[in-house]
């Protein structure tokens, strides 16, 4: 069959169920087909060139076509293409990467569990907490608290902690049984009361969390999961003092803090990890995405030594630790992860990204006065622009998401790959972008925003 854009489009429609895609609309519109990529640029099947404003899905930190990572994967495939780590088997590259990851954690020691995605890693987090609480004789301590608009993946348990509606609708999630709860979104712009300071808003949210824990019974609550900055929920930067107040509630009731660093980890927020930016002391950490710069599917969970010791002490009673994936610790993924971390360190990628932050944030924030922009927010090389129907009242568009969707079409037409989070546009370029490429992203966005504003006005969507 000849490969033309039209045949590819039809073959896609005939054969693929697309994640996070409107199923019937996709049958009409068809896909955007990408064919090759290099650095922060990607090309479609019609030869159009785009610059990446979302690093794939918040993951291609080192950009596309990195020769060293390709060579590493090839070499590892030749040497040892696969070896399971089930039943006490191991390989050096898996050990080396685990040692490296432990050394990056904000606590001493630790043990690493490997998975293939952020979702399965967060499922692992939940299972480890349940296993641990069984092992320490607290079998009733099992409830997990996520946050409305938090994103932790889509598997049954991690998806239950996700607080974004489409992840639940039609899938009978959250799982029932009362183990999956949600607390407030820490978004001052949207949810603070009139005149409420960031600090007071943070206090109120911490009080609400405390009340939730007390209502459920602290002896039944095992863990709280949070991204340092909520990414898919709209790049929501927590209000000042939020995490300090939340963490003291968690400590008071022996509720473990699971830090989801799937997006914020590896230099994204202007520091090596989100826990550096917000001075967090997590009990366990989830990593994925930029761990391999998306050159291989790989995730990792790191838990503290004392948690592991409790599990070990109960091993005779519990029997085999029956959790793991065929590809846990896949040697090719581990080798690529290790090389990615080496490049981050050797090429001072996190420092360079931090140095780009003022320019990136200044260009981002230059949209704050635009009549259709309600809020601009972000940290490091992560940001968002939220559109509103009325700047004064912060009114949402009706129906929500239409303006975001239209803006993305304009961005695509102008050679910019970006993702709408409802009517909020998320920005998360590869960490290797140059200042000129940051300008290119925002110049293209500005042009797209102008066209979107004209359209929204013509459609009568702005309620001024």
Residues at the site binding ligand PLP, with contacts judged by CB under 6 A: 57-58, 117-119, 122, 151-153, 227, 231-232, 260, 262-263, 288
Q: Please answer whether residues 255 and 206 qualify as being in contact, where contact means their C-beta atoms are separated by less than 8 angstroms.
A: no
Least spacing, CB of residue 258 vs ligand PLP, in Å: 11
Least spacing, CB of residue 57 vs ligand PLP, in Å: 6
End-to-end CA distance of the chain: 53
Closer residue to ligand PLP, CB minimum distance, 287 or 461: 287
Closer residue to ligand PLP, CB minimum distance, 162 or 402: 162
Contacts (Cβ under 8 Å, ≥6 apart) of 323: 113, 124, 127, 128, 131
Angstrom CA distances, 3 to 6, 14, 204, 341, stand at: 8, 15, 58, 38
Closer residue to ligand PLP, CB minimum distance, 57 or 148: 57
Alpha carbon of residue 190 to chain centroid:
21
Least spacing, CB of residue 7 vs ligand PLP, in Å: 29
Least spacing, CB of residue 345 vs ligand PLP, in Å: 23
Least spacing, CB of residue 358 vs ligand PLP, in Å: 25
Q: Both tokens of residue 295? A: 């050159």
Beta strands in 53-189 (DSSP E): 111-115, 143-147, 180-183
Residue nearest ligand PLP, Cβ-based: 118
Q: Both tokens of residue 433? A: 């972008």
Scanning 59-91, the segments in alpha helix (DSSP H) are 67-80
Least spacing, CB of residue 152 vs ligand PLP, in Å: 5
Closer residue to ligand PLP, CB minimum distance, 222 or 231: 231
Contacts (Cβ under 8 Å, ≥6 apart) of 382: 229, 231, 235, 263, 264, 268, 269, 427, 428
Integer Cα distance of 282 and 280 in angstroms: 6
Closer residue to ligand PLP, CB minimum distance, 231 or 301: 231
User: What is residue 231's three-state secondary structure?
Assistant: coil
Integer Cα distance of 235 and 233 in angstroms: 6
Closer residue to ligand PLP, CB minimum distance, 117 or 183: 117
Least spacing, CB of residue 142 vs ligand PLP, in Å: 21
Least spacing, CB of residue 118 vs ligand PLP, in Å: 2
Closer residue to ligand PLP, CB minimum distance, 264 or 438: 264
Rg (CA), the chain: 22
Closer residue to ligand PLP, CB minimum distance, 19 or 137: 19
Q: How many angstroms separate the most distant Cα atoms in the chain?
A: 70
């Amino acid at each position: 069959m000849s490969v033309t854009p039209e045949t590819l489009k039809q073959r896609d429609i005939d054969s693929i169920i697309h994640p996070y895609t409107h199923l019937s609309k996709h049958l009409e519109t068809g896909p955007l087909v990408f064919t090759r990529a290099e650095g922060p640029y990607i090309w479609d099947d019609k030869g159009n060139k785009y610059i990446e404003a979302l690093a794939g899905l918040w993951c291609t930190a080192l950009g596309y076509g990195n020769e060293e990572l390709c060579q590493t994967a090839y070499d590892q495939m030749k040497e040892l293409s696969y070896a399971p780590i089930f039943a006490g088997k191991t390989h050096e590259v898996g050990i080396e990467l685990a040692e490296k990851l432990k050394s990056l954690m904000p606590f001493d020691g630790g043990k690493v569990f490997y998975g293939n995605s952020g979702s399965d890693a967060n499922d692992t987090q939940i299972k480890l907490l349940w296993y641990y609480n069984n092992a320490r004789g607290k079998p009733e301590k099992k409830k997990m608290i996520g946050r409305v608009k938090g994103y932790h993946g889509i598997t049954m348990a991690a998806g239950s902690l996700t607080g974004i509606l489409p992840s639940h609708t039609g899938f009978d999630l959250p799982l029932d049984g009362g183990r999956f709860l949600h607390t407030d979104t820490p978004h001052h712009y949207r949810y603070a009361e009139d005149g409420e300071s960031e600090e007071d808003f943070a206090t109120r949210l911490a009080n609400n969390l405390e009340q939730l824990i007390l209502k459920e019974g602290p002896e039944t609550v095992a863990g709280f999961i949070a991204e340092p900055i909520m990414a898919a929920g709209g790049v929501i930067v927590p209000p000042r003092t939020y995490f300090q107040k939340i963490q003291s509630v968690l400590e008071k009731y022996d509720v473990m803090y699971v830090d989801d660093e799937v997006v914020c980890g590896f230099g994204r927020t202007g520091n090596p990890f989100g826990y550096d930016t917000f001075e967090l002391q997590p009990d366990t950490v989830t990593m994925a995405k930029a761990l391999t710069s998306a050159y291989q599917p790989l995730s990792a969970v790191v838990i503290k030594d004392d948690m592991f010791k409790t599990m070990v002490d109960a091993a005779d009673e519990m029997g085999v630790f029956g959790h793991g994936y065929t590809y846990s610790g896949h040697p090719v993924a581990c080798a690529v992860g290790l090389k990615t971390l080496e490049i981050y360190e050797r090429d001072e990628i996190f420092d360079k990204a931090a140095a780009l932050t003022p320019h990136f944030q200044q260009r981002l924030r230059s949209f704050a006065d635009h009549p259709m922009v309600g809020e601009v927010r972000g940290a490091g090389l992560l940001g968002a622009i939220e559109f509103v129907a009325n700047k004064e009242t912060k009114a949402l568009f009706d129906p929500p998401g239409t303006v975001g969707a239209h803006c993305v079409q304009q961005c695509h037409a102008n050679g910019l790959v970006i993702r709408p989070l409802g009517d909020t546009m998320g920005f998360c370029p590869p960490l290797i972008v140059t200042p000129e490429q940051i300008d290119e992203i925002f110049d293209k966005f500005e042009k797209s925003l102008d066209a979107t504003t004209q359209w929204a006005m013509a459609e009568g969507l702005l309620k001024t």
